[in-house]
Structure 1
Amino acid sequence: MSLSGKVEGEVEIKAPAEKFREIFSGRPHHISNVSPDKIQGCALHEGDWGTEGSVIYWDYVHDGKAKVAKEIVEAIDEKNHSVTFKVVEGDLMEEYKSFKIVVQATPKSEGSVVHWTFEFEKLSADVPEPNTLLQFVLDVSKDIGSHLSQKETTVRVTKMSLSGKVEGEVEIKAPAEKFREIFSGRPHHVSNASPEKIQGCALHEGDWGTEGSVIYWDYVHDGKAKVAKEIVEAIDEKNHSVTFKVVAGDLMEEYKSFKIVVQATPKSEGSVVHWTFEFEKLSADVPEPNTLLQFVLDVSKDIGSHLSQ
């Protein structure tokens, strides 16, 4: 018998269609922040976020079980607010020969209607229709819609000075020069020293250790997988400092600008690592980045321990 099939479903949300589509087309790694009980993470395996042909990897919980899916972004239609994914590996491939997912948001008076379509071919007639998975993505859509509509309200009503600065420092046993070299020339080695906090650091433009280069961080902060795209603005070898400007990633959901300066100062048996964050928030509801400051201080301790071994 024919094992091909198709299921569809839709849900209304209060968020604009364009903003919903932007999440799935360019920022799917943010969904775990919005729907953490369902989506544990989304990692980029090939290509760039927001581009057709890129390959992404999902960690999710469906029917009470932890599952994974590796997908190719087949198409992004900005005009019609739709994104098409082709599943190529993971749990679904244990039951399906092929599985294509299309999500489309259509504008409506006070928000949008999100429509999901699954087109598939089963491996056997015993495989059930993916109706519980359809309900799963509809529920995730509701979570995203609630998050986006709350954020819209917050940004609209807040008007005040939102600039700020936080600083902190920690002593380590490693030399200042060696610590600075890690951040100036070998940031991709930080994941070796602090693997539970830093998952990776990739070079997007330029060369390692040069001003103007662009690097991309994958990290876990406050229990959530996050990303940051940064430009290396300055490297001061004499004063053992490096300055980064964040230009994309999770921080840009809450901040208009975010600059990071890390400096290591020699001390008798090691060095003192000083971090400075200078930022402008998007709204008054955004908290001070104190937990992120503690995060980088803890990473500094890990690096110090690693270098002094």
Structure 2
Amino acid sequence: MYSLTYSRSKNKLDKHLIIWRKLAQAMMNSSLHGEVEADVEIRAPAKKFFHMFAVRPQDVSKASPETVQGCRVQGGEMGRVGTLITWNYVLDGKPNVAKERIEAVDPKKNMIKLKVIEGDVTEEFKSFLITIQVTPKKEGPGGVVKLKMTYERIDENVAHPETLLQTGIELFKDIDEMLLLEE
């Protein structure tokens, strides 16, 4: 924890102290912000993998039923910014719910951004943004899926979301296997 004290002298504040105070405040706030990411190599076609999240998320539970129990599109149209999706999933053996809003979709880059707006994640995080981007291999099928989670914890006692990241990695492996079986 950072702290800074200063005193007034003749009703004037030293501008250097103000700058240091702002810097200290920014450092305290930045310790709550974070980002975790992972790259997962896949053998399925990159475009098909991207479509699992952008167009057919309801099929994710078919790929990994022990992790994802269901997915409902509640508002909007899949693949469109503003669409609301509710996920029922298991984390550390406990049922969880997350309601997400699609923030960005770029089919050319095989990229989708999802912002968690309600659910269990919001009990520990002020903000939580998930970015999934699939880069195809230069030759042949397959590619690399980048999973990035950008977040702000509610306080320093909340752990960084490594468990969520690991669950995402395992989920991506299950989706890859399902897509390979579909071919």
TM-score by length of 2: 0.80
Asked if the contact 1:261/1:277 (under 8 Å) is kept, the reply is yes
Asked if the contact 1:229/1:246 (under 8 Å) is kept, the reply is yes
Indicate yes or no: 2:69 matched with 1:199: yes
CA distance in 2 between partners of 1:189 and 1:234 (Å): 21
CA distance in 1 between partners of 2:141 and 2:56 (Å): 23
Runs of at least 4 residues off by over 6 Å: none
Unaligned runs of 5+ residues in structure 2 are 1-26
Asked if the contact 1:185/1:210 (under 8 Å) is kept, the reply is no
Indicate yes or no: 2:145 matched with 1:277: no
Indicate yes or no: 2:176 matched with 1:304: yes
Asked if the contact 1:242/1:262 (under 8 Å) is kept, the reply is yes
SS in 2 for 1:178: helix
CA distance in 2 between partners of 1:269 and 1:186 (Å): 20
Give the aligned residue type for 1:277. M
Give the aligned residue type for 2:102. V
CA distance in 1 between partners of 2:73 and 2:28 (Å): 36
Shift of residue 180, structure 1, vs aligned partner: 0.4
Unaligned runs of 5+ residues in structure 1 are 1-158
**What is the CA RMSD across the aligned residues, in angstroms?**
1.2
Give the aligned residue type for 1:192. K
Asked if the contact 1:197/1:219 (under 8 Å) is kept, the reply is yes
SS in 1 for 2:36: strand
Partner residue of 1:254? 124
Shift of residue 269, structure 1, vs aligned partner: 3.8
Shift of residue 209, structure 1, vs aligned partner: 2.0
CA distance in 1 between partners of 2:102 and 2:70 (Å): 17
Give the aligned residue type for 1:276. K
Q: Percent identity?
A: 47
Structure with more contact order per residue of length (Cα contacts < 8 Å, sep ≥ 6): 2
Indicate yes or no: 2:28 matched with 1:160: yes
The number of equivalent residue pairs is 151
Q: After superposition, give the CA deviation of every residue in 1:122-160 in whole Å (9 maximum; x if it has no partner).
A: xxxxxxxxxxxxxxxxxxxxxxxxxxxxxxxxxxxxx93
Alignment of 1:76-225 (within 5 A): 160-161=28-29, 162-225=32-95
CA distance in 2 between partners of 1:238 and 1:165 (Å): 24
Partner residue of 2:99? 229
TM-score by length of 1: 0.48
SS in 2 for 1:308: helix
Partner residue of 2:113? 243
CA distance in 1 between partners of 2:141 and 2:106 (Å): 22
